[in-house]
Amino acid sequence: MIKVGIVGGTGYTGVELLRLLAQHPQVELRAITSRSEAGVSVAAMFPSLRGRVALSFVAPQVGNLEDCDIVFFATPNGVAMEQAKILLDAGVRVIDLAADFRIKDPAEWEKWYGMKHAAPELIAEAVYGLPEVNREKIRSARLVANPGCYPTAVQLGLLPLVESGWVDTDHLIADAKSGVSGAGRKADVHTLFSEASDNFKAYGVPGHRHLPEIRQELSIAAGKTIGLTFVPHLTPIIRGIHATLYARVAREADFQALYDERYRAEPFVDVLPFASHPETRSVRAGNMCRIALHRPQGRDTLVVLSVIDNLVKGAAGQAVQNMNILFGFDECAGLTQIPVLP
């Protein structure tokens, strides 16, 4: 058994972590912190966890986090970078679900996130936590930067193509849609029911902060700088990301076989038969990415469809997957839930 702490357990990713960890056979939840809800029982705030999580939220300074084996930061950007070093120095492993350690260039991070980085010395050490790429590095990591939700869907959809060099990597396009839970559990006008329901819109078209993360990691996979146009959209659903990805063929090959082979041993990537149409509801509440390839009219453009649950494979589930790798557990432990339908 390992002792686990969560910083910021009141948001959507925090409660999703609690849902998954409460079912994990090797986990003992020790501390769940919240500045605003200290003293409130977890079950009172999240009745779905009644009978499964007996803890109450505690203030961060009395959370006994240094007694844990691992601490998850399910916090806004800028929090983990202020606290991670203290925990790492105490021998605690850290998984940050925010973006503090994802981008390797501190100046680039500061440009996109609009604040000074408090721990640039830790950026180089942090391992980017996409298991399908960095599994071996994750095993020995102290600090894991859990990928963003859009970056997970886009990267898993495009990785086989950029790794192979069989497409034009200068003009990749990612057209991605997310449910409103991706905006977090806070009161913003654009996520109010009357604003988001019965509506569909693009946002962040000039540049979204997930763009440099996706571009960085796909460039590493390609062995050269890639060109990517990334446009996110807000859809009137609660959970789910659907990424429609476009790449121009540079070399003819069996692309379906490429994907089948690349992900054959991956427990949380499901490559569907050619020309299938994966749906967000097929991954709801599950730690799964489903992918399908299309070749419209047999022309020179490949279309890749990639779907995930933004709160699971796009956040908390992937974080638990990383924890399993860190501690040598079965990678699927605590993550075998079948997606919910309808």
Per-domain residue ranges of the chain: 2-125, 149-310
Cβ 265 vs Cβ 231: under 8 Å: no
CATH topology of domain 149-310: Dihydrodipicolinate Reductase; domain 2 (3.30.360)
Ordered DSSP codes for 310-338: TTIIIIIHHHHHHHHHHTT--TTTT--PP
pLDDT digits (tens, 9 = 90+) for 256-284: 999 999 999 999 999 999 999 999 999 99
Q: Average pLDDT in the 228-243 region?
A: 97
Query: Domain 2-125 - what CATH class?
Result: alpha beta
Average pLDDT over residues 39-51: 96
Amino acid type, 135: R
Domain 2-125 matches domain 149-310 at the CATH topology level: no
The answer to whether 149 is a known catalytic residue is yes
pTM score, whole prediction: 0.96
Out of 68, 149, 289, 332, the active site residue is 149
- Residue (of 49, 45, 87) closest to 66 by Cα position: 87
Taking 80 as the threshold, does the pLDDT of residue 62 lie above it?
no
- Structure confidence at residue 61 (pLDDT): 78
Per-residue model confidence (pLDDT) at position 196: 86
* Phi and psi at residue 298, to the nearest 5°: 65, 20
What percent of the chain is predicted at pLDDT more than 70? Answer: 99
Residue position matching structure tokens 């790492």: 88
Split at pLDDT 50, 70, 90, the class of 184 is confident
- Angle at CA 249, nearest 5°, toward 244 and 254? 90
**If you average pLDDT over every residue of the chain, what do you get?**
96
Gap between the Cα atoms of 103 and 81, Å rounded: 13
